[in-house]
Amino acid sequence: MPTTSATRHALFAALSAALLVALREPLSAAIQLSRQNEQYSHTLLIPWIAFGLILYRRQHVFTPARFLPVAGIAGLAAGILLAWWAPLADLTLKMVGFVVAWVSAFLGVYGAGPAYRARYPLAMLFLAVPLPPALISAIETVLQHASAEVTHVIFQLTGTTMFRDGLVFSLPGVQIEVARECSGIRSSIALFIAGLVLAHLFLLSARAKVLLVLLTIPITIAKNALRIATISWLGTYVSTEFFYGPLHRRGGLPFSVLALFLLTLCLLVVRRWDGPSAGSAEPRSIPVEKQVSRD
């Protein structure tokens, strides 16, 4: 007799629970890292975002479905072995193994068709993998220097009196350094994830999705530069307290809202170029299976 959807969901839930138990050590380390280091705080949200995107289009994703045990078991075994045998210090590799195992469980229970139709949120699960510290540092450096360059342009366009020496700007009476903390990597990652979600929900073509996600990079840099310039102006011409006050230390929210607004405007433009939005049109079906198999 045909396998019901409830049976498949129950089996996938059981496999997920078993994975959580079998790989609890790297998961615990990843959770602890996300709580201790704000650069990794997004990793806890990614699985819920991916689950929500799959659930949002569940009727399209899960119909039809069929078991694919060989591929599922092979991927599960490979993922678990990678998570178990990776060096203890390599949390990135261990979490890659966990995600591979989880995606393989999905593939084995629901089949190639649902896995293909859910490929976007399933791929997003790899964002839950903590990036190596060296890569995080490199991204921070790029954002830091790019933000300094755009800040310089803003100062020039506004006629601000200043002298620049690398990452240091000398304004009347003060010197301002664009430090690594000015890279805004946490808000940058948040905007990148927002771009991924908006692209999936409202765009159809791959080129439009890639374009929108790539646009988060210049928006992020412009947001960082505008914040640096604003604090510099206020600290120079209003009060030096702005260099040490809440706007400097915890005032990123208004600029993040502005960045999200700019991203939304970009979405509207890209959507007109892309055609009908994914949110207003039926998802495209991929004829992988023609009928539900009898398992």
Establish if 12 belongs to a structural domain.
yes
Report the residue count for the chain. 295
In terms of domains, do 57 and 168 share one? no
Q: What is the mean pLDDT of residues 37-52?
A: 92
In terms of domains, do 123 and 144 share one? no
Domain end marker among 130, 153, 185: 130
In terms of domains, do 126 and 234 share one? no
Query: Is residue 264 pLDDT above 60, yes or no?
Result: yes
In terms of domains, do 92 and 58 share one? yes
Domain end marker among 130, 154, 189: 130
Establish if 295 belongs to a structural domain.
no
What confidence score (pLDDT) does residue 286 get?
Answer: 42
What confidence score (pLDDT) does residue 129 get?
Answer: 95
Establish if 23 belongs to a structural domain.
yes
pTM of the predicted structure, to 2 decimals = 0.85
Q: Are the CB atoms for 65 and 111 separated by under 8 Å?
A: yes
In terms of domains, do 153 and 203 share one? yes
In terms of domains, do 123 and 47 share one? yes
Query: Is residue 50 pLDDT above 70, yes or no?
Result: yes
Establish if 288 belongs to a structural domain.
no
Establish if 58 belongs to a structural domain.
yes
Q: CB under 8 Å to 237, separation ≥6 — which residues? A: none
In terms of domains, do 248 and 150 share one? yes
Cis bond before residue 64 (omega within 30° of 0): yes
Supply the DSSP symbol for 163.
Answer: E
| Separation between Cα atoms, residue 63 and residue 176, nearest integer Å | 58
Q: What is the mean pLDDT of residues 250-271?
A: 89
Q: What is the mean pLDDT of residues 213-227?
A: 95
For residue 159 the two structure tokens come to 């006629």
Domain end marker among 111, 130, 149: 130
Count of domains for the chain:
2
Boundaries of domain holding 229: 134-274
| Banded pLDDT at 89 (limits 50, 70, 90) | low
Establish if 289 belongs to a structural domain.
no
In terms of domains, do 159 and 49 share one? no
In terms of domains, do 61 and 165 share one? no
Establish if 287 belongs to a structural domain.
no
In terms of domains, do 35 and 100 share one? yes
Q: What is the mean pLDDT of residues 135-141?
A: 92
| 48-to-54, 117, 158, 263, 283 alpha-carbon distances in Å | 10, 18, 43, 22, 21
Residue that the structure tokens 């601000």 belong to: 160
In terms of domains, do 104 and 160 share one? no
Establish if 124 belongs to a structural domain.
yes
In terms of domains, do 113 and 225 share one? no
Looking at per-residue confidence, does 128 or 4 come out higher? Answer: 128
Quick: pLDDT tens for 237-258: 887 777 776 665 666 788 889 9
Query: Is residue 226 pLDDT above 90, yes or no?
Result: yes
